[in-house]
Amino acid sequence: MNICNKPPNKTTPENLGEAVPEVQVQRARRNGWSWPLHLFQIIAWLLYLFFALVGFGILVPLLPRHWLPAGYICPGVCFIYHLVVHLTAVSIDPADANVREKNYLGPLATFNRNQHAHVIENHHCHVCDVDVSAKSKHCGTCNKCVCGFDHHCKWLNNCVGERNYWLFLNSVLSAILGLGLLLLVACYVFVEIFIDPTMLRSDRHFDALKNHTDLWFVFLPAAPVETQASAILVTAGIFILLSLMTVILLGHLLTFHIYLMWNKLTTYEYILQQRPQQEAKGVDKQLESCPSQVRPSQVLVELSVHFSKTDSLACSVKFASLFGKGPVPGKDRTICFGGSACLAGLCEQCHRS
């Protein structure tokens, strides 16, 4: 129904006989290293290098000497574990078992919507041309069926499914833990520079700079580089802002997936559940934008009933009313001649006062 006389958003042909162009598919992608790489994937690796380089090269070496072992080991274990699970989640092929057995990296079948309503019908994928499990979904980005499909992760540049879902979760959790620990170190260094900078100059290289408190070393102890205190402050401040934003976003993502696991849902299933609610909200907004005179609560109903002259009956009924209410005062009503021509007592003959 076209509300408010606005042009409809045509997503499917109104006429079934209308020609529908075939969807040109691409070659399938094996994993997150398959071309093309995604921008988010590159940003993720750049952030990992930045946090590791600044955290373990600048901030942790400035900790007091008795804190150094914990400063290196605790976040270091988290960073190494994150690297392992992240690489594994990117490198693994999450495709359905039957898809993996087939050489699916060559040109795939072209999906024609004139022949099939859906890509997967009766557990058979018309693009991969194999039978797949009931939990498999065809990913349009990777162009293959993924078993236990959850979502396509742009940061991994790979689908997250049954084979790598726990690797994905471990990657998120380890990133939160490791980055959270380095965030505490960065906050300590940033505050201590203002309160008592001597607490941060416990390394033996600072012995030569006792009379130069404005000079500092970074990348201790292996490759000390001399720098200014302001550079330490700016670097620590940037690190705090980026790491805080990252921890908040990753924490939100982890909380969302804990919610999904609690309700035994995948991200794909959650989106399908939310779609009717979003469409209903869209209709409500459209109704709110309608002029009051054309809202569905005030519908003009016009009925014309014509009988043949041989039946000696001629009745034309026109009325405007609200749903479930009687005739509108002041409107003309045609006299009823009895029989079926009387519509719910809304004619003059049957609705006299």
Task: Supply the residues annotated as catalytic.
Answer: 153
CA 235/CA 50 separation, integer angstroms: 11
DSSP letters of 211-253? T-TTEEEESTTTS-EEEEHHHHHHHHHHHHHHHHHHHHHHHHH
Cβ burial, residue 174 (10 Å; 0-12/13-18/19+): buried
Q: Which residue bears the tokens 């309608």?
A: 290
Crossing angle (nearest 10°) for helices 229-262 and 165-195: 150
Please say whether the beta carbons of 192 and 199 come within 8 A: yes
Q: What is the DSSP letter of 59?
A: I
How many angstroms separate the CA atoms of 248 and 240, rounded?
A: 12
At 38, the amino acid letter reads H
Q: Let me know how many helices (H) and strands (E) the chain has, helices first.
A: 6, 11
How big is the CA angle at 34 (ends 32 and 40), to the nearest 5 degrees?
A: 50
Q: Which helix (H) or strand (E) holds 319?
A: strand 318-320
Taking a C-beta distance cutoff of 8 angstroms, is the pair 74, 181 a contact? yes
Tokens representing residue 177 in the block = 């833990």
Q: Which two tokens stand for residue 101?
A: 């057995």
Q: CA nearest 44: which of 154, 120, 145, 131?
A: 154
Q: Is 127 within 8 Å of 140 (Cβ atoms)?
A: no
The region, left, alpha or beta by phi > 0 then psi within -120 to 50, assigned to residue 345 is left
Cα–Cα distance for residue pair 172/6, rounded to 1 Å: 45
